[in-house]
Structure 1
Amino acid sequence: MADQGSEPIPRVGARVLLLDPNGRLLLIHEHYDYFGQERRTHWITPGGGIEADETLQQAAAREVYEETGIVIELAPQATPVHRTGRLWSGGGNVYDQVDHFFVVRLEAEADVVAASPTPEEVASAIGHRWWSASELATTDERLLPPDIANLLARINADDAADRVT
């Protein structure tokens, strides 16, 4: 159980809004202990903490591959489209994590099979699902970040504006 009296450990994360050719967003379904009090589930984008000497872009690509088996590339100059902060517990620690979100659009359908998940990911994973914007907007499921439906709508609106000639 995480020591709730200790200072949270600062952590930086890189996450990916991974969209299929139909604009659906991949989310991973996980269960976790909420600060040792109760078991909860949520849907979250692929991603995780950056490792030493790793850029946000490298961490995002590595995490997507580890958790989904999908190979992506992010240019070194790719910039996050969103940033959120959250407290979470794991491995007996409490983390104060800032997540940086990148958008990646797949050109073809992709099978999702974790390539090299961590033991914690194996223990917490329930499954995955591709979500449409309307499904995200109407679900009662716990989504992380909570504003992900609005974020996806904004991204889709920006993309539509970019395509107008």
Structure 2
Amino acid sequence: MTSAADGAAAGDRAPWELGPDWVVGDDGVPFRRGARVILLDEADRVLLARGHDVDRPERTWWFTVGGGIDAGESAREAAARELLEETGLVVDPASLVGPVLRRRAVFDFWRRTVRQDEEFFLARVERPAAVHHAGWTDVERAFMDEVRWWTLDDLADVREEVFPAGLVGVVRDLLDGWDGVVRRLPDGH
């Protein structure tokens, strides 16, 4: 969901302009809080989205579903909302486990360096409905290419980048359930 700010609706912005959930940090870098979902199915496959760099479309990567936290929204609520918007899959925010992982990511997004502090929640679905992207925003349609389920073995062998780095190991540790430890990945992309 994209909210309006400063009297300008999201539709009034060019796609490469960051939304109202981004603020400029003390270091001059746009910053936001984010919530993501590590979603597993009954076969222990993980759901990831593939995106590409708008300046270099040949550069693609896989990443967990999620995004920014809207004003007045908890990280848990944002994670469930983003999952619905980006995949059409519904999970009750109360059923999300965690946060199981936190990281600070610095990456290029819409031709600029940005920073996002992310909380990752774990969820499982049995026999998930077909994934669709009817809820993608204009920004998501501009850089996201597909959403698909991955076995961990296949994901470990993928040639494209996977974010966050180390995701396969984290997911393997969570297959039997969360142990209550919030994992922390090194800062980075």
Q: TM-score range, shorter-chain basis?
A: 0.7 to 0.9
Structure 1: 4+ residue segments shifted above 4 A: none
Q: Which residue of 2 aligns with 1:81?
A: 100
Q: How many matched pairs?
A: 154
Residue 92 and residue 141 in structure 1: after superposition, are their counterparts in 2 closer, same or farther (change >3 A)?
closer
Q: Which runs of 5+ in 1 are unaligned?
A: none
| 1:31 corresponds to 2:52 | yes
Cα distance in 2, alignment partners of residues 139 and 29 from structure 1:
12
Residues 96 and 122 in structure 2, CA contact (< 8 A), matched pair in contact too: no
What is the CA–CA distance in structure 2 between the aligned matches of 1:17 and 1:77, rounded to whole Å? 10
- In proportion to residue count, which structure has more helix? 1
**Which residues in structure 2 correspond to 1:112-131 (within 5 Å)?**
112-131=131-150
Q: CA RMSD in A?
A: 2.4
Percent identity reads 36
* Helix, strand or coil at the partner of 1:79: strand
Are the aligned partners of 1:16 and 1:64 in contact in 2 as well (CA < 8 Å)?
Answer: yes
Give the letter for the 1:84 counterpart: R
**1-structure distance, mates of 2:148, 2:111:** 29
CA distance in 2, matches of 1:96, 1:160: 27
Structure number with higher relative contact order (C-alpha < 8 Å, ≥ 6 residues apart): 1
* Corresponding residue of 1:67: 86
- SS of residue in 2 equivalent to 1:81: strand
Alpha carbons of structure 1 residues 151 and 92: separation in structure 2 relative to 1, 3 Å:
same
TM-score, normalisation: structure 2: 0.73
Q: State the TM-score, normalizing by the size of structure 1.
A: 0.83
> Which secondary structure state, in structure 1, belongs to the residue aligned with residue 81 of structure 2?
helix
CA distance in 2, matches of 1:83, 1:17: 12
